[in-house]
Structure 1
């Protein structure tokens, strides 16, 4: 349960979560009260306890603490029409004045000045935080900025304006100068440079739009939650606040498309899909839901929007995301160091403040007054293809789990080779599981050489469709592609069932292969199964049992289940089912059936009939499902063609 004091639940208005606007306000107040004891002199730097990046310093981390919590304070006060019974804006105004009095390039307090913020430099962290400061000032302009004296405004504007002239990292960072420019243009300061920054930001991210509401984050195929809490949020919110109707409508249509798919990435328990970097931002995943309603561009009903957003906030607070001291730590539930990015510091989790965007909607808005409606994953089993990122979304209403089959997102840069990131490279991610970081990879098919399992590296999407997604990759060991070897993969799904097929071409006969399934985790985990199938079980953080099963169908020779002593973000104990086999020629096919379910024991597979046959250039896999639907996948080296047939 949450350590944050909250009002009584309202199960009439909110039958799914019990939460109302009052719960959001109480959560915001508690999160802000918890950080207050960590504010330094003048409130300019808020240094929270916890591990720090090696490159950062007291000033950078303190500015991050100020900026990200200021954004939450701004949403809270602006959403209340300027009402500020806790004196939030007085403290943050004092911090703004103190922090911009004498910006410094020093990383510590050696010069004896306990106030100054770091100057904004090329690709420096202060540029990121300037965006939160600027957005907070824009939202609270009447109650904070307009009440400063001329000198205070001049110094604050001079600090912010550096963001207009500096070079960002070539990814979503282009949106930070845009956000600063939006505020400065509104208050009539350096308007030419401000408008130029807005135009540059919009132009920089435009080539990364892949259609269907999805952007890649700078790298060729980096799809993740940054779509919602960065690419759609910043430019659309700027256009909305600026009254730019044309840009609002253009970007709003993209957001509506995005929400049509991403709205399906929340489980019935409120969990967002566990995929991509910066997951410590947690309920920031709710930001695009609110943005769609705020700007009038959403396919979701008001009651569904609130159900998804409240579900996400409650999911984390109920599971200890805010510790006994009320602070958000680096992790998913509680601390989880393996999943934390190198750039994250003690205050980084407070980008979760974006999840409170809904407070800008007045209390009498339908999003707050409508009765909660079920989320998409609760209504019926669904299979939804997202061609932009190369994903297949599979959800089951009986247990509320959402699964993301990944055949398109790898986060690999265009001009160098980096190791697979478990948060991108897995074949599948879900709302109930996370990857292991200290063991052979879960949800992965690889070739085995010695003790090493090959990586996917760059993924080449081969298409998505009704109940299927496919891709190919050149397997890598130690960063080097195996010569002449290609793995072509397809997932075929129905209900909770998955069939994974992999065609390995170009590998020497007798090469060992390994297929792993879902890594389930909790306070305890177990293994089981027989020679045909492997099973892993665990009791989740919510006390409900999880089961993962992997069954050999073709090509594999053995089934086992392996404990994962390091656990995952979902618990300290974990286990994963594994199949192994060996190639039998220059084109070897491996087929497995898999499932992830909530239940007291691994559920048996339904009557799924799978047949395979060799073709002149590869293999054919035919799957007949109990309802009469048939998938036929024709796989060749780096090619996949899938046909779907239905009875009648």
Structure 2
């Protein structure tokens, strides 16, 4: 049995001179890489061909899972070895070389499953193996016997003609093919070109890639944009240097990454936490892959000190909070194990895709990213609101508490028909029973909270966070699945959806929602068109802690606060009849006890408008809601904030006459306006100019 150890032990002393924010330098990255490798390798099979980690098997089965453990830790070994001129923890290079020999020998009892349609997951692991072999070529591949090299090449040939999910998987085959090309082995350049071309179609602008599909069927934007859809094309371009005939492709790829990173640094909280949104979050600090890559290929707007601050902050965030078990093995969760957030395609070895964050070790020890002092993150420099039209996000960062919030009007990971049936292979995790995929369908996410997982609750009792729904007496709250964007601009984002239950959509119902970011607060307005017999449910942030949050509801406000000061507030401005706080256990990856402030409207009319201030504040920030004045005239919402700023939101169809902002009529087709005293109003496109509607 593997020995028990303190999972956070044996790291070097902090260096607060070079790294005033995190204390981490290159030595800490190397030490943790070595810990992860040696601890995982204690679970190696006798031949070394498999890493046999304990835990729930994935939907691909244990053979695939054990290959996954080998391939993903091998990628970590490759970054560590290549970044240190061939140096590696004692014996590991030889052990992995022997494992490759056994794994590719079909006569061996520990042989890997064939790369092919019987187990498509092997293509994912083949990509890690090919990239690792490329990086360690002088010390591993070139030392293998010709027989073993021939077997490896033969095993990789299963990639050609393989039906794969239509998403970032296209790049896995490209990486495999380029490695084969680099060693003079047979490969299908035409199929690689088709995969590259399809990946190009996923780019929507501003450095953002949709993870598969198209705008007619799904909008999938999450961390895969950084740790896959930027990373693999650029690593491929480096592998293919001298063999690709398109001289314009590399400048295009680097320009996209540079543009993406200009916004991406805002996705991290002051405590180092990346945004908790999207699938495969068990990869945790792999979110730092793209910033390291930007430094590696000279395609980043971030200074060296900002790059290391971001990456080391993410690494330390999870190291301090114990992402490994007592044997040093990365768990299936966010901090500790949390099964509800784990997709069916993930097995015990899956978390080791976090190995990608160690790509930074490819930067030599004298690179400025390792030698220059850390610099503050955007959230540490000041409050900021950023509109991201490409993915349909608004970001709001507040310096006082170091939290970054994401308002979501664009990413839904929606699947229909064949897509839904292939959800396990696609990696969508499937759709939730009542409220869609909780990692995509919510109105807001943050670096300090996780969405409510309600699968263990009766459907009719589910109380999702950051959601609006119709309440069916038997089926519970409706879902927000396909998100139809209206606009994203300034502090404003809007979309609409049709309520669904278990995949069935009510064609007569429609909910339009507009959000206006205001520091730690969001002005959220809904226009609900629905049958009069279904009440409306409207909710704020879920917070979590190891002790039950303190909950209170009175005077038009519902609030919950954890012991460490994280506070979720729901302030009704219009359209609600009842307010309360829903408490539960086990519904968040952030803590055992949870609370969600929410409101309902039981008036029973066919068209209703609901307006609220939704707040999330942490320690250091004032949890007191801003004292706003709100008026609702039909579907027009007019709000005045304490500093004198007026905000106007027009829901639904265009008004019969021009709306008023601060008592003055606004010309043209205006759906949103913001007027700060002494400044002209800020407006967004009208209904005729909607984005991806």
**2:115 matches 1:117:** no
Distance 1:179 1:330 in 2: 27
Of the structure 1 ranges 573-582 and 244-253, higher mean CA displacement relative to structure 2 is found in 244-253
Query: Does structure 2 retain, via aligned residues, the 8 Å contact 1:436–1:519?
Result: yes
The residue number in structure 2 matching 1:534 is 558
Cα deviation per residue 1:459-485 (whole Å; 9 max; x = unaligned)? 001111111111000111232212321
Deviations 1:264-305 (A, max 9, x none): 111110111111111001111111111111111111111111
Residue 94 of structure 2 corresponds to residue 90 of structure 1 = yes
Q: CA deviation at 1:182?
A: 1.6
Distance 1:291 1:638, change over 3 A: farther
Question: 1:374-424: per-residue Cα shift (whole Å, max 9, x none)?
Answer: 111111111111111111011101101011111111111254664411011
Give, in angstroms, the shift of residue 322 of structure 1: 1.3
> Which residue among 550, 555, 559 is the counterpart of 2:575?
555
The answer to whether structure 1 residue 636 and structure 2 residue 666 are counterparts is no
**Secondary structure of the structure 2 residue equivalent to 1:141:** coil
1:341-490 equivalences in 2 (<5 Å): 341-415=343-417, 418-419=431-432, 420-438=436-454, 439-451=462-474, 452-490=476-514
**Hey, what's the Cα distance between the residues in 2 that align with 1:207 and 1:587?**
39
Question: Alignment partner for residue 636 of structure 2, among 610, 617, 620?
Answer: 620
Q: Which moved more, 1:117-126 or 1:14-23?
A: 117-126
Q: Residue 172 of structure 1 is aligned with which of 168, 173, 180?
A: 168
Partner of 1:246: 248
In structure 1, what is the Cα distance between the partners aligned to 2:646 and 2:254? 37
**Aligned-partner Cα distance in 1 for 2:7–2:621:** 29
Question: Which residue number in structure 2 is paired with residue 588 of structure 1?
Answer: 608
Mind listing any 5+ residue stretches in structure 2 that lack a counterpart? 1-5, 421-430, 455-461, 656-669, 679-693
Query: What CA distance in whole angstroms lies between the structure 1 residues aligned with 2:248 and 2:91?
Result: 37
Distance 1:114 1:40 in 2: 11
Residue matched to 1:236:
234
Which residue in 2 is equivalent to 1:209?
203
Match of 1:604 among 624, 642, 659: 624
User: What is aligned with 2:691?
Assistant: none
Give the RMSD, CA atoms, in angstroms. 1.8
Quote how far apart the aligned CAs of 1:626 are. Answer: 3.2
Residue 664 of structure 2 is matched in structure 1 by none
Distance 1:256 1:307, change over 3 A: same
1:149 is displaced (CA, Å) by 1.6
In 2, are the aligned partners of 1:423 and 1:435 still within 8 Å (CA)? yes
CA drift of 1:508 comes to 2.8
Aligned to 1:108: none
The secondary structure found in structure 2 opposite 1:115 is coil
Residue 602 and residue 548 in structure 1: after superposition, are their counterparts in 2 closer, same or farther (change >3 A)?
farther
Alignment check: 8 A CA contact 1:531 1:560 kept: no
Q: Equivalent residue for 1:22?
A: 27
Q: What's the counterpart of residue 659 of structure 2?
A: none
Structure 1 stretch 119-128 or stretch 148-157: which is displaced more? 119-128
Verify the 8 A CA contact 1:164 1:180 in the aligned structure 2.
no
Deviations along 1:207-258, one digit per CA (max 9) or x if unpaired, are 2211111111113211111111111110111102333663221111111121
Equivalent positions of 1:85-164 (< 5 A) are: 85-102=89-106, 113-122=108-117, 124-164=120-160
1:297 to 1:247, Cα distance in 2 relative to 1, 3 A: same
Question: Which whole-Å deviations, capped at 9, do the CAs of 1:154-174 have from their partners, x for residues lacking one?
Answer: 111111122133222221111
Residue in 2 that maps onto 1:69:
73
Maintained 8 Å contact 1:550/1:578? yes
Partner-residue secondary structure (3-state), 1:556: coil
Provide closer, same or farther for how the CA distance between residues 223 and 626 of structure 1 changes in structure 2, counting only shifts above 3 A. same
Matched residue, 1:107: none
Change in 2 beyond 3 A, CA 1:633/1:601: closer
Displacement of 1:2:
5.8
Q: Is the 8 A contact 1:537 1:602 kept in 2?
A: no
Structure 2: distance between partners of 1:638 and 1:560:
34
Q: Conserved in 2, the CA contact under 8 Å of 1:472 and 1:638? A: no
- Aligned pairs for 1:174-213 (under 5 A) are 174-191=170-187, 193=188, 195-213=189-207
Give 1:637 shift: 5.4
**Shift of the alpha carbon at 1:599?**
2.9
- Cα distance, 1:624 vs. partner? 2.5
- Report the TM-score, using the length of structure 2 for normalisation: 0.88
For residue 341 of structure 2, what is the aligned residue in structure 1? 339
Q: 1:163 to 1:638 in 2, by over 3 A?
A: farther
Q: Are residue 517 (structure 1) and residue 540 (structure 2) matched?
A: yes
The answer to whether the 8 Å contact 1:422/1:435 transfers is yes
The aligned counterpart of 1:567 is 587
Aligned match of 2:523: 499
- 1:410 is paired with a residue of what secondary structure? coil
CA distance in 2, matches of 1:138, 1:395: 40
For these two proteins, the number of residue pairs brought into alignment is 627
SS at match of 1:40: coil
How far apart are residue 510 of structure 1 and its match? 5.3
How far the C-alpha of 1:601 sits from its partner, in A, is 9.5
CA contact (8 A) 1:537 1:601 kept: no
Rounded to whole Å, the distance in 1 between the matches of 2:294 and 2:543 is 33
**1:415 & 1:293 partners in 2: Cα distance?**
41
Report which stretch shifted further, 425-434 or 179-188.
179-188
Which stretch shows the higher mean deviation, 35-44 or 246-255? Answer: 246-255
Which residue does the alignment assign to 2:681? none
Q: 1: CA distance between counterparts of 2:642 and 2:94?
A: 64
Distance in 2 (alpha carbons) for counterparts of 1:27 and 1:321: 12
State the secondary structure of the residue aligned to 1:137.
helix
Q: Give, in angstroms, the shift of residue 610 of structure 1.
A: 2.3
Partner of 2:359, secondary structure, is: helix
Distance 1:474 1:391 in 2: 20
- Distance between the aligned counterparts of 1:600 and 1:141, measured in 2? 51
Structure 1 position 199, deviation (Å): 1.2
Distance 1:88 1:637, change over 3 A: farther
Q: Deviations over 1:315-373 (max 9, x none)?
A: 11111101221100100000000000001100000000001110000011111111101
Give the Å deviation of 1:150. 1.1
**Partner secondary structure for residue 595 of structure 2:** strand
Ranges in structure 1 where 5+ consecutive residues have no aligned partner: 104-112
Distance 1:638 1:349, change over 3 A: farther
Q: Distance between the aligned counterparts of 2:598 and 2:165, measured in 1?
A: 40
